[in-house]
Structure 1
Amino acid sequence: MDDSIFLFLALVGLALAVSGPAGLIVALVQRGRIAELERRLAVWERASSAREAGPRPLAPDAPRADAPPPQPVPAPPEPRAQSAETAPKTAPKIGPQPPPQAPPQAARPAAARPSLEERFGTRWTVWVGGLALAFGAALLVRYSAERGFFGPGVRVAGAVLLALGLLAAGELLRRRLRGEASTPPTWPDVPAVVTAAGTVALFGALYAAHALYGFLGPLAAFSGLAATGLAAMAAALLHGPALAGIGLVGAMATPLLVGGGSASLWPLALYLPVVAGSAYGFAWLKGWRALAVAGGLGAAAWAVLMALHAAGGGAAQADLVLQGALAALVLAVLPGRAVAQTEARLDRFAAGALAGVVLVAGAVLGLTADEGAHAGWIAAALAAVALPSAAGFLAAPAALGLPVAVVALAGALALWPEFGPAFEPDAVAPANDPLGLWLGTDAPGALPWFALAASAAIVAAGALRLLGGSRLPYATALAYAAGAALGPLAALALAYLRLSGGAVAPGFAAAAGALAALFCGLAALFRRQGEGTPSPALTLGLGAFASATVAALCLGLVFALSGGSLTPALAGAALATGLIARRLDIPALRWCVAGLAALVAGRLAWDPLLTGPGLSATPILNGLLIAYGLPALCLGLAAWVIRRGAPDVPEQVAQAVSLVLAGLLVFLQIRHALHGGDLAAPGTSLVEQGLTTLSALGFSLVLGRVSGAAASPVIRFGGLAFAALALVQGALGLGLAANPLLTDEPVAGGILVNDIVLAYGAPALAALALARASRGRRPVWFVRAAGLLGLGLAFLGTCLTVRHGFQGERIGLDRETGQPEWYAYSAAWLVLGLLALAYGIRRGSTLARLASAALVGLATLKAFLFDLAGLEGPLRALSFLGLGACLIGIGLVYQRLVFAQKPAEEAP
């Protein structure tokens, strides 16, 4: 008992100690506010007196001597002060009148930033005070428990009474203070803070009654905590969004704090949508977007947690459908329902909300794919596609919901589980299935119907919106057209890959033909509608469905032919889309061409080998032409078709993918021809490396010829890229990997015509031709690099040719080198140097002359350092005689041709 008295006295002393400084701070704050009011009143009085004084009349000019005497003018009557009621009304004047001039107003002083004192007195004290109230309630209960003053029941009752007292105090303060003058919006609301403290205290009391003392069972505690959270959100309509956030957090955390008392998650699947729906409703009524976003994030987190539960598949899927419908309705549909067509610009927030719904749906579907709830899984997947489609159809600003629905459809088909006989007990794969749909999953009958239903929803939403939205903005109409065209195509392609695995599927070919007929009918409908009431939206729909018709036909050809691949179909669709874009003048379809080219690039990056295992061994005329050549041609033509003046992004994307495919076609044809049709054969050969280098140089030479000031950057940088590839291939492939001097592989052919001449001589000539053609077109460093590559390959090829002439087909370094061979190297270097000198003098190439000097210098060093000691007899003398004659001849050439003095010009 003595402790309680001491506690009471300590609290009284603390109150007395705090009341003095608090009163002083309040007085100082009020004094500052009074001074500020006095200053503003003085400024207003000075401005009012300045307006009443008005402008002074100007003094008349002094009269001139020759001017006539002034005539008397009757003085105007002095104005009298009249009120607004007694002032005479003037008749309106006829004709244009000058705009009325607003009376001068006193400049309002700029709002000063709150001082540290104001922030402390009006904000920090309120927030810290509310936090102190909540902690004080908890500490008081803890202290009573530690001292044993009261029993558990009294403690819980006291905590509940304290919470109710804080809630009552908050309501009393709201009624008393809300009638006063409005406070600045930056100041915290005292009644709301007190009510929030009471809400937290009530949460703590109920949780303690359940978890610590067992006074409340799971159901009662769950109901009490949930009711407290919902009541807090309802009270937030009076106290502001902060209290709603506290209530939302408490209601969302209630299942974690209490639990449901059973292993079933179905009550939770029904409870969470009620909480989220309440948050959405309050957010919609008061315009609190942050509360709606918080409710959506909490619902998403709970959906994933339920999906992670061992037996929570069905409950998680049901919760996903309900929560997705609420989020799509509140965050996407309702904000855009009242927007006119002409103002229906794309809403990024609505698109982000729908994308979040689809992302959560993908996580839930992926986690519950093997739970066994097959009908629920299919229903949830269908809802994940239908919800963004319906949102885009109901609200035009949410038109991006259709592309989002396409992504959801693709994800559902990719995640489609192997249901097995549990879903269809009597389903047995027939021996002769005419549609060929029994290859990828144990329940294939559901997958095509799902793809059909989801695609129909997307097409219907997009087509109906385009037909009835002739005044839609261009970007909004483009979203509808893109979703309606791409959805069925993506569904058909993914279903084919999932069920047939790339094999021939006549059933899918027939489905592609039916889809093409549907798109053709829609295009005809849009054309008839556009002839009656022309609009950009109808023209865009016509172009989109016409392009989709061609794409569906291309898919059908791929499904029906051997070695089916999506790459030719996508490239053909890109070309058809480019032709339609040019014919109908629809600029947006040019971006569709770029998108299809990007899909081809993605397919190529995923698996560069596009031909499959059944590639014919016939050189040139094989499946590589279909897999690489046809797409390269289609994309190149598409880039040319959609060109509009200066090169832009769609044209450059198509050009880049076309160049990559063309390069791969040539390189793979070389490998195919040299390895008997086996592209995966291990190792490489000298001829393959030489022809690959020659092909890269040829690409660079051709691209350099067609590039110019107006050429696309892809053409210019493509030429540089192929030249860099040739440089790397020549240095690593011909210099190291396939060099017969290092590998000791046999060299086929005779002395003049052999593998070395083909592998080194042809690329050397191509590199020199590239250097000559690039002068004035390419940078100086590029010209020099190409020339050095040509000279290096020529030098290496010359040395290998000499060794091949003396050693035979095997010319490895481990074989003995005779004196005639050493002499032949010197002679060959001198001949090569003389040829380089002749070319440099004739073409004015300094690089060639420097290369000639290097070769001659190398031959000279060899003669003095090696031939003098290594050669014997007449070879030593012939080596020095030939070297001396060449050096003298070279010197004479330089004196007479290169650095000859020009005769002095005669003076006029």
Structure 2
Amino acid sequence: MEIILGLVVILVVIGGWLLGILGFIRAARAERGLAALRRQVEGLMTAAAPAPPQVPPQVAPWQPVAPPPPVATQPPPIPTAAPAPGSARDVEALLTQRWGTWLGAAALLLSGVFLIRYAVDNGLLGPAARCLLALLLGAGLLGGAGWLRRRAETGAAAALAAGGVAVLFGAAYGAGPFYGLLPPLVGFGLMALAAATGLLAALRFGPLVAAIGVTGAFATPALVATSSPSLPGLFAYLLLVTAAALAVMRRTAWVWLGWAATIAGALWVAVMAGEAGGMDAWAPALFVPAAAALHLGLLPAAALDHVAGRRLSWIPFAVLGVAGLLLEAVAGGAAPRVGVLLLSPLAVWKGWAEPRLDRLPWLAAGLGLLVLLLWALPDWQPTGEVISIEGVVQAILPGAWAPEVIRPLLLTAALLAAFHAAAGLLLETRAARPLPWATLAAAMPVLTLAVTYAQVARFQRDALWALAAGLLAGGLAAAAARARRQDSLQRAGVYAAGVLAALALGCAMLLRAHWLTLAIALFLPPLAWVEAKADLPPLRSLAMAIAAVVLVRLLLNPAVLSYDYGTTPLLNGLIPAYGVPAAGFALAAAMLRRRADDRSVAVLEAGAMALTAALVALEIHHLLAGGALPGRVTFLDAAWQVAALALQAALLLGWAQRPVPREAGRVLGGMALAGGGVLILANPIVTGAPAGWSALVAGYLLPAALAALLLHRPALRDVASLVGGYAVLAAGVGIGLAIRLAFHPDGALAAPPVGEGEQWAYSGAGLAYGGALLALGIRRQQRGLRRAALAIAALVTGKAFLLDMGDLAGLWRVLSFLGLGLALIALGAVYRRFVIPPASRPD
């Protein structure tokens, strides 16, 4: 009775499913009718046109066929029986054939779950019977899907097939891990078989079935619990699943399937990194290059004609490589390193076989360098024996060539560099594009040596490492001579750039402080020369990278203040530290500008001016601080810094013909303006700082004069009012401080009281200064200067009535008001004569 009831329930559910997909069938019939009408129209249109070329099925998705050219005849009208195009039809198609299909598949899966749940709740069937009926149901759904597809009901067939695969997977899971009816290995095999069935069925029923199949395939190991897990078996299974998914992708061009296989495989490597240990670590380690080989091998060449195909060539490669690096970081040992390093021969093979992927070896080389960087070295000591007498080292007896603990790293680095160098040297003369291979051969040994030096020597000075860099430079020079004999200037230029890089690395192994930066900067002009002779524009980017390193070390490194530059004024270590690199920047910019005035030239020009400005500022501070750069900043120091900035800005804005120097002049001028504003507010009267004539001239009068001279330069047109206002204010403050210093020559401008003569001098100087501004404003017809003169006259008038009337006595008061009166009368006369038009003059 229970069995009959269960069969009745199954029939009812299946009947419900069939009723549920009637909408799909009717929609598909309407679609077939429309497709038949379209075929009739296309037949008439292509009667006089040549047929499009036939494409093999396995590569057709990657090689879309161009539509046939239109013919002169007009197609016949579409019969009224066909649905008219429009939004209503589009919505119906979306509801019935896209969303309905997916919802139907979900409904089938949930129906199977609810059926089992009903049977369990009511005790109708035992576990074995439930799993058997689920198996029969899944097989029946797949059979029904095949029957519907033969009747051209593709949407409904896909829904039934997806539900069938899901039910089969559930039956295998129930028989294995859930109920324990079968041994774990057998249950695992059944689940894998169900997932493989889904991937195979996807070739016939579409992507929905593939999604369920690939999800089940990669999820199967996580659902099976066993007391003796086997990492080799797990990753062998995952490799088979990856191969199956990529084979389906190759056939169908479902790009998402490739991404799913990539992400799932990499996640399994990352998840099992903590479980891998000892010999088991070889399984996930070897999975990395094996899966990458599958991705590259099963991707058809036609896929590289499309953006998605090109991404599928290198992104899975990179993702799997990163998973291998994570495995190395967590599990450690030799196995993960070998797995990542095996990507290099794979990349070289693919780059040689497919010229469009000749940059793939660079990706593998980068992963190899990261392997060296992540190599965890324990503490070690040199093997030489130290001989000392009374604590003083007299000699070091040489020991083994390297301690045992660092030999694996050194050998791995040597093999990595040698392999890429040999591959580049071998293939540069055989490849369609030789430059990527030559660059690989030139750059990889230098980069490997740099990384290994950083790991082993920890950036300490070492003559042996510098000797290795020198030998490497010699080898690259031989490769450059070989390329030159073969009349390949570009390849020779690549190797010449490698020689420069190796020599710069050797300098870094021997030199420290500013001498290292100087050595690096000196390679810029030779690099520019190589770029011009070999016609290698990529070297411009390398020049910008070197320039960035130099600028960061000299401008953003606070340690430069602690370097030993000596105590000699002006002629000290600052000249080679900043002056020589600035000259190297300028020379390299001029050499590069002969071929193209691009971003690299702008960077080098800006860097030259920045280093020059830093040199001037540090020389001033070094001089005024008594030869110590971290010395105290005095008012005299700040004043001369403002004067130096203003003078450099004036030179650049006044004579520069190129945009970058002009912009540099604006930047330096802005810095001078800001510094000058600070000095106006924090003047010696306010701060009490001692000041002499040189400080007043440098801090106020000279910057004001330079600002006035540059006021009408085109580069300052948008800030002319600001610059003019600063010039007037700075000159006025400077004149006032000069009067104060004249009456108090000791330089203490804040403490002494103001005498009568000094107070009258302020009024007289103010009137004279205002008169000069008025004359200049009238001569140049500048209203701003005339208004500034009137403002100064107003200030002097206010001072006379508010201060001089009470503070001055006797002859000083007479002279103060006499001068003020004469000045105001003269001011009115001058305005009447030269400024106010006759028609506007009062009677």
TM-score by length of 1: 0.76
What letter is aligned with 1:398? L
1:177 corresponds to which of 139, 143, 149: 149
Q: Is the 8 A contact 2:465 2:509 kept in 1?
A: yes
> 503-512 or 486-495, which moves further after superposition?
486-495
Question: Hey, what does 2:378 align to over in structure 1?
Answer: 419
- Equivalent residues in 2 for 1:50-61 (5 A)? none
Residue 826 of structure 2 corresponds to residue 885 of structure 1: no
1:319 corresponds to which of 268, 274, 284: 284
Residue 631 of structure 2 corresponds to residue 691 of structure 1: no
Q: How far does the alpha carbon of each residue in 1:263-309 deviate from its partner, in whole angstroms, 9 at most, with x for none?
A: 775554444333323333443355443322221111222222233x2
Residue 75 of structure 2 corresponds to residue 107 of structure 1: yes
Residue 583 of structure 2 corresponds to residue 633 of structure 1: yes
Question: Residue 642 of structure 1 aligns to a residue in which SS?
Answer: helix
1:672 to partner: Cα distance: 3.4
Q: Is the 8 A contact 1:740 1:746 kept in 2?
A: yes
Question: Residue 778 of structure 1 aligns to a residue in which SS?
Answer: helix
Q: How far does the alpha carbon of each residue in 1:333-374 deviate from its partner, in whole angstroms, 9 at most, with x for none?
A: 96559999xx99x95653444443444444444x33xx5x34
Q: Distance in 1 between matches of 2:192 and 2:789?
A: 92
Alpha carbons of 1:125 and 1:382: their partners in 2 closer, same or farther (altered >3 Å)?
closer
1:256 corresponds to which of 217, 222, 237: 222
Q: Distance in 2 between matches of 1:455 and 1:823?
A: 82
- Equivalent residues in 2 for 1:392-791 (5 A)? 392-420=351-379, 431=386, 443-469=405-431, 471-472=432-433, 477-530=434-487, 538-563=488-513, 567-601=517-551, 607=557, 609=559, 613-644=563-594, 647-681=597-631, 684-708=633-657, 711=658, 713-732=659-678, 734-736=679-681, 739-747=683-691, 749=692, 753-771=693-711, 775-791=712-728
Q: Is the 8 A contact 1:579 1:641 kept in 2?
A: yes
Q: How far does the alpha carbon of each residue in 1:28-75 deviate from its partner, in whole angstroms, 9 at most, with x for none?
A: 875786588679869999999xx9xxxxxxxxxxxxxxxxxxxxxxxx
1:857 corresponds to which of 794, 807, 830: 794
Question: Hey, what does 1:836 align to over in structure 2?
Answer: 773
1:378 to partner: Cα distance: 4.3
Question: Hey, what does 1:72 align to over in structure 2?
Answer: none
Q: How far does the alpha carbon of each residue in 1:810-850 deviate from its partner, in whole angstroms, 9 at most, with x for none?
A: 75767654554433332332333334345445666554444
Q: Distance in 1 between matches of 2:399 and 2:601?
A: 39
Residue 128 of structure 2 corresponds to residue 153 of structure 1: yes
Alpha carbons of 1:310 and 1:626: their partners in 2 closer, same or farther (altered >3 Å)?
farther
Structure 2 unaligned residues grouped into runs of 5+: 49-68, 79-83, 387-394
Q: How far does the alpha carbon of each residue in 1:464-501 deviate from its partner, in whole angstroms, 9 at most, with x for none?
A: 332213x43xxxx5544444433333333344444445
Q: Distance in 1 between matches of 2:302 and 2:419?
A: 20
Alpha carbons of 1:215 and 1:295: their partners in 2 closer, same or farther (altered >3 Å)?
same
> 893-902 or 224-233, which moves further after superposition?
893-902
Percent of paired sites with the same residue: 31
1:140 to partner: Cα distance: 0.5
Q: Distance in 1 between matches of 2:170 and 2:13?
A: 29
What letter is aligned with 2:376? P
Alpha carbons of 1:409 and 1:571: their partners in 2 closer, same or farther (altered >3 Å)?
farther
- Equivalent residues in 2 for 1:318-357 (5 A)? 319-327=284-292, 330-331=295-296, 335=300, 347=310, 349-357=312-320
Question: Residue 468 of structure 1 aligns to a residue in which SS?
Answer: coil
Q: Distance in 2 between matches of 1:527 and 1:479?
A: 17
Q: How far does the alpha carbon of each residue in 1:586-634 deviate from its partner, in whole angstroms, 9 at most, with x for none?
A: 4443344334334445656873655764443444444433343333222
What letter is aligned with 2:358? A
TM-score by length of 2: 0.82
CA RMSD of aligned residues (A): 4.5
Alpha carbons of 1:356 and 1:165: their partners in 2 closer, same or farther (altered >3 Å)?
same
- Equivalent residues in 2 for 1:68-467 (5 A)? 105-107=73-75, 112=85, 114-170=89-145, 172-173=146-147, 177-178=149-150, 188=155, 190-216=156-182, 218-262=184-228, 265=231, 267-307=233-273, 309=274, 319-327=284-292, 330-331=295-296, 335=300, 347=310, 349-365=312-328, 367-368=329-330, 371=331, 373-376=332-335, 378-380=337-339, 382-383=341-342, 387-420=346-379, 431=386, 443-467=405-429
Q: Distance in 2 between matches of 1:15 and 1:721?
A: 81
Residue 763 of structure 2 corresponds to residue 823 of structure 1: no
1:220 to partner: Cα distance: 4.0
Q: Distance in 1 between matches of 2:791 and 2:621?
A: 36
Q: What number of residue pairs does the alignment pair up?
A: 804
Q: Is the 8 A contact 1:133 1:197 kept in 2?
A: yes
Question: Residue 269 of structure 2 aligns to a residue in which SS?
Answer: helix
Alpha carbons of 1:438 and 1:695: their partners in 2 closer, same or farther (altered >3 Å)?
farther
What letter is aligned with 1:493? A
Q: Distance in 2 between matches of 1:875 and 1:897?
A: 32
What letter is aligned with 1:625? I
Q: Is the 8 A contact 1:333 1:398 kept in 2?
A: no
Alpha carbons of 1:785 and 1:336: their partners in 2 closer, same or farther (altered >3 Å)?
farther
Alpha carbons of 1:744 and 1:215: their partners in 2 closer, same or farther (altered >3 Å)?
farther
Q: Distance in 2 between matches of 1:452 and 1:296?
A: 31
What letter is aligned with 1:785? L
1:798 corresponds to which of 730, 735, 742: 735
Alpha carbons of 1:524 and 1:195: their partners in 2 closer, same or farther (altered >3 Å)?
same
Q: Is the 8 A contact 1:574 1:592 kept in 2?
A: no
Q: Is the 8 A contact 2:158 2:209 kept in 1?
A: yes
Question: Residue 566 of structure 2 aligns to a residue in which SS?
Answer: coil
Q: Is the 8 A contact 1:236 1:242 kept in 2?
A: yes
Alpha carbons of 1:478 and 1:714: their partners in 2 closer, same or farther (altered >3 Å)?
farther
Q: Distance in 1 between matches of 2:313 and 2:837?
A: 80
Q: Is the 8 A contact 2:24 2:97 kept in 1?
A: no
What letter is aligned with 1:762? L
Q: Distance in 1 between matches of 2:35 and 2:269?
A: 54
Q: Is the 8 A contact 2:640 2:695 kept in 1?
A: no
Alpha carbons of 1:724 and 1:480: their partners in 2 closer, same or farther (altered >3 Å)?
farther
Q: How far does the alpha carbon of each residue in 1:122-150 deviate from its partner, in whole angstroms, 9 at most, with x for none?
A: 44444333222211111011111112222
Q: Is the 8 A contact 2:773 2:789 kept in 1?
A: yes
1:794 to partner: Cα distance: 2.2
Q: How far does the alpha carbon of each residue in 1:253-272 deviate from its partner, in whole angstroms, 9 at most, with x for none?
A: 22332345357755544443
Q: Distance in 1 between matches of 2:655 and 2:404?
A: 55
